[in-house]
Amino acid sequence: MIRAFLAQCERDLYVTVRREPFSFLSQSLLQPLFFLFVFGRVLPEIGAAQGDYGAQLLPGILALTLVLTALQNVALPLVIEFSFTKEIEDRLLAPLPVTWVAVEKLLIATVRGVIGGLLILPLGELILPGGIDLGGASIPALAAMLVVGALVGACLGLVLGTAVPPNRISVAFGLILTPLIFTGATFYPWESLDSLRWFQVLTLVNPMTYVSEGMRGALTDAPHLAAGWIVLGLAAGIAIFGTLGVRGFLRRAVD
Stretch that binds another protein, among 12-20, 35-43, 106-114, 151-159 (CB under 8 A): 12-20
- Whole-angstrom Cα distance, residue 21 to residue 12? 12
Least distance from C-beta 82 to another protein, angstroms?
Answer: 11
Contact yes or no for 88/78 (Cβ under 8 A): yes
Nearest to 66 by CA among 214, 250, 236, 224: 214
Identified binder of another protein from the candidate list 45, 52, 90, 221, rule CB under 8 A: 90
45 binds another protein (CB under 8 A): no
99 binds another protein (CB under 8 A): no
Least distance from C-beta 153 to another protein, angstroms?
Answer: 22
Stretch that binds another protein, among 25-33, 40-48, 80-88, 172-180 (CB under 8 A): 80-88
Least distance from C-beta 1 to another protein, angstroms?
Answer: 6
Contact yes or no for 206/184 (Cβ under 8 A): yes
Least distance from C-beta 123 to another protein, angstroms?
Answer: 27
Nearest to 114 by CA among 161, 165, 149, 157: 149
Query: Helices 207-219 and 227-253 meet at what angle, rounded to 10?
Result: 140
Residues in the chain: 255
20 binds another protein (CB under 8 A): yes
Q: Helix, strand, or coil here: 255?
A: coil
Stretch that binds another protein, among 53-61, 89-97, 167-175, 218-226 (CB under 8 A): 89-97
Contact yes or no for 190/206 (Cβ under 8 A): no
19 binds another protein (CB under 8 A): yes
Give the interface with another protein as residue ranges (CB under 8 A). 1, 3-4, 7-8, 10-11, 15, 19-20, 85-98, 253-255
